[in-house]
Amino acid sequence: MFESLQKKLLDVIRNVRGMGKITDKNVKDIVRQIKLSLLEADVNYKVVKAITDNILEKARGTNVLNSITPAQQFVKIVYDELVSMLGSKEAELRLIRRPSPIMLVGLQGSGKTTTAAKLALLLKEEGKRTMLVAADIYRPAAIEQLKILGEEIGVKVFSENNKDVMDICKEAMREAKDSLVDAVIFDTAGRLHIDEDMMRELENVKRLIEPDERLLVVDAMTGQDAVNVAMEFDKRLDISGIILSKLDGDARGGAALSMRYVTGKPVKFIGISEKIEGGLERFYPDRIASRILNMGDVVTLVEKAQRVMDKQTAAEFEKHLTHSKLTLQDFLDQLKEIKKMGGISSLVDLIPGDFKRGLKASSVDESQLKRIEAIINSMTPEERRNTRILNASRKKRIARGSGTTVADVNRLLSQYEQTMSMMKKFVKGGKRFKGIRLPF
Amino acid sequence: MKKILGKLSNALKRSREGIFSKIRDVLKRGKVSNEDIEEIEELLILSDVGVDMAEELTNELKERLRENKMASPLEVLKEIMKEKLRDGDMNGNITHSKPHVILIVGVNGVGKTTVAAKLAKKYMDEGKSVLLGAADTFRAAAIDQLKIWGERVGVEVIAHRPGADAGAVAYDTVKAAMARGIDVVIIDTAGRLHTKHNLVEELKKISRVIRKVKPSSPEEVLLVLDATTGQNAIKQARIFKESVGVNGLIVTKLDGTAKGGTIFGIKKELDIPVKFIGVGEGIDDLESFDADEFVDAMFEGNLHE
């Protein structure tokens, strides 16, 4: 996420760090480099100009030029500027009424339907009774798509074929009231911001359902045009926030930075995975700015762990750990938790720069984890608890069952034993384990 | 701060009214000053051509204007841009050995399924027989979507169940086309972020599998690109090219305000030509690409403004 922007800015900062003194002349040069990095990242030209002007002005201020640690001062300025561009505070959803209508709008292909399902799941997990409304009657099979997703996550989907959008929305609201729903998410059809008729339709829907939240879903890969789209939707609907989708690619994310800036409306969520579960995250400007400047985002990492880690499993794990009785079943549970958090690679993103480098180099191999999972799954509960009973014939059976070789099984076992002996040393040393530690 | 924002939105309003008509206005002022060149560079960046390409275009413009003081600056810039996009003869020539197999690839949400249907319609109108393959077995209801389109344009769709093996669908489609002597096969694949290794592998598998039925296939791999995409488009094109050998682009959603400027960078860096452009939501709104017409339309503003 934001990788290329990150790389470029880090290069700039490294340069700055190498400078003993920052002069008026090299400030200009540095700011030009920042300007180019931002443009390359699809940040809107006008926004780039405003930001770099700000940076230049602040950097020329006496406290940087005269500072003993000019580089640090400078990084702070860039960081602050990034944060102010992204919005200073995280923006919560404001669900006021009951049922609270939430309207998702955007261009075609920005990912509204998938996002609707992700948001529904998120709200459901927070204990809200949620309903989805299929208000996209134009794209063939869009209703079908939402229904399938709704079924997957166990959220009711309101849909009616062959009716006009206004009728569907009206009836959906009635239905939501009757069934005492907390939040109703309206998945509207994708449309171009310059399509007069379609935009008017949205205005009418808005007037009808009076949504608490009007969220614009935007593809993170959008280029310079993103600001035009955002401004037009904002003008028509007074949007209450932005959801940035498809940030799991190598999108440069500049669009995000720009849209917040020109509309003044906060980015509320980001889409970080194709999977519905765990595919949507709240947006924290300061954390993202840290990520961009490679300061890592440990807060999100810890929260992620807390959210998905089943309390009981965690307690069990810790007990086993402190008694040095970590079984392969615990291994397996851990693997599942990691998966729930969006896989190793999404976690690696959150680790601060210097630590990350080692991890990236060894390139965490997710398929390796899958193999380990398969092997453990092919063991009996008894075997998972006590690996000593694994003789040649059992190993052969496990290899066959998991589609691996006996050598793979042996490798896993020796890794497991190594981990065990390491654990023992830790525990003996009196260190207690808090939260999760990956046993690998 | 408020002042900056006010100025900003005014400026953006201008750009919304048409980046290229703005460039035209600048160049029509007569003598082109250095400030004018800078303004043009800025405007070009706003059309998503990228910083490097914007610089290249303006440098060449300066160069040529110095060489030929009488030339009309606007015409010179247009000519430079046309040269960047021009490509010999490449418009949808169909191979003689039936069927001509076209693989439609791209990231999520660019409009692959719709393009597959529009392309089918296009070949139907040319009197070709067409078969569609629903190899997007991943996205919920993607198969239904293609089937509905198929019904609308009157093309049969070969499909399996959702979640089925995409390679198998492609295989069956090509095989059926061979048996029936069909002219053109269009295979819709699942949207995949180019960074997702497994999905890119699946694409490779699809081309491997159809080669078992017809060794020369796929005759064409067309990458669908959303005109609103920014500099990421070049990366997408590169990875798809490296993995499955893309030989043409289809640029969709040019009916918005986006200018699709990234095609300049893609043509330059990867030498992938644009074959078709989508300029509307109607089933007939897919057009063969012509560099000269395209650039002229950009400046005349009758492309979509």
Q: Domain of A59? A: 3-86
Give the pLDDT confidence of A72-94 residue by residue, as tens digits. Answer: 677 778 878 887 777 777 778 99
What CATH number corresponds to the domain at position A35? 1.20.120.140
Indicate if A243 and A357 belong to the same structural domain.
no
Peptide bond into B99 cis (omega under 30): yes
Peptide bond into B218 cis (omega under 30): yes
Q: Token pair for residue B268?
A: 């330059």
What distance separates the 2 farthest-apart alpha carbons in chain B?
69
A270, A285 contact by CB (below 8 A): no
Gap between the Cα atoms of B186 and B218, Å rounded: 10
A227, B13 contact by CB (below 8 A): no
How many structural domains compose chain A? 3
CA neighbor of A105 nearest in space, from A115, A93, A90, A117? A115
A-B C-beta contacts closer than 8 Å:
153
Please tell me the number of Cα atoms within 13 Å of A422 on its side-chain side. 10
Gap between the Cα atoms of B166 and B190, Å rounded: 8
Give the per-residue pLDDT at B293. Answer: 86
The answer to the question of residue A93 being in a domain is: no
Indicate if A258 and A114 belong to the same structural domain.
yes
CA neighbor of B249 nearest in space, from B197, B215, B288? B288
Give the per-residue pLDDT at A319. Answer: 65
Q: What is the mean pLDDT of residues B67-71?
A: 86
The residues facing B187 across adjacent strands are: B103, B133
Give the pLDDT confidence of A100-141 residue by residue, as tens digits. Answer: 999 999 999 899 999 999 999 999 999 999 999 999 998 888
Give the per-residue pLDDT at A28. Answer: 80
B272, B84 contact by CB (below 8 A): no
Indicate if A186 and A249 belong to the same structural domain.
yes
Alpha-carbon distance values, A189 to A202, B213, B222 (Å): 9, 39, 26
Indicate if A141 and A33 belong to the same structural domain.
no
Q: Answer yes or no: do A224 and B253 touch at CB < 8 A.
A: no
The answer to the question of residue A437 being in a domain is: no
Give the pLDDT confidence of A354-392 residue by residue, as tens digits. Answer: 445 444 434 456 677 778 888 888 898 888 888 888 888
Indicate if A146 and A250 belong to the same structural domain.
yes
Q: Residue A312 — pLDDT band, cuts 50, 70, 90?
A: low
Q: Which residues of B195-211 are buried (b: 16+ CB within 10 A; e: fewer)?
A: beeebbebbeebbebbe
Q: What is the mean pLDDT of residues B56-76?
A: 90
The answer to the question of residue A440 being in a domain is: no
A350, A299 contact by CB (below 8 A): no
What CATH number corresponds to the domain at position A223? 3.40.50.300
- Provide ipTM, 2 decimals: 0.77
Indicate if A279 and A310 belong to the same structural domain.
no
Q: What is the dihedral of CA A176, A177, A178, A184, to 10 degrees?
A: 10
Amino acid at B252: T
Q: What is the mean pLDDT of residues A164-184?
A: 94
Residue in B closest to A2 by C-alpha = B232
Q: Residue A426 — pLDDT band, cuts 50, 70, 90?
A: low
The answer to the question of residue A438 being in a domain is: no
Task: Give all domains of chain B, ordered by start, each with its CATH number.
Answer: 2-85 (1.20.120), 100-289 (3.40.50.300)
Sort out which chain B residues have CB atoms less than 8 A from A144's CB and list them.
140-141, 144-145
- Residues in Cβ contact with B3 at an 8 Å cutoff, skipping those fewer than 6 apart: none
Give the per-residue pLDDT at A357. Answer: 47
Q: How far is B252 from chain A (nearest CA, A)?
A: 11
Q: How far is B10 from chain A (nearest CA, A)?
A: 10
Q: Token pair for residue A401?
A: 């069952």
Gap between the Cα atoms of B132 and B152, Å rounded: 13
Q: Answer yes or no: do A221 and B233 touch at CB < 8 A.
A: yes
Give the per-residue pLDDT at A240. Answer: 95
Partner residue facing B230 (CB), from A47, A228, A254: A254
Indicate if A289 and A165 belong to the same structural domain.
yes
Give the pLDDT confidence of A131-152 residue by residue, as tens digits. Answer: 999 999 988 888 999 999 999 9
Q: What is the mean pLDDT of residues A145-168?
A: 92
* Choice among A13-22, A244-253, B288-297 with the minimum mean pLDDT: A13-22
Report which of residues A236 and A433 the model is more confident about.
Answer: A236
Q: How far is A96 from chain B (nearest CA, A)?
A: 29
- Residues in Cβ contact with A248 at an 8 Å cutoff, skipping those fewer than 6 apart: A1, A271, A272, A273, A274, A346, B193, B195
Which of A310-314, B65-69, B71-75, B131-135 has maximum average pLDDT?
B131-135
Gap between the Cα atoms of A151 and A161, Å rounded: 18
CA neighbor of B256 nearest in space, from A89, A38, A232, A424? A232
Q: Token pair for residue A93?
A: 């959803």
Q: What is the mean pLDDT of residues A319-346?
A: 68
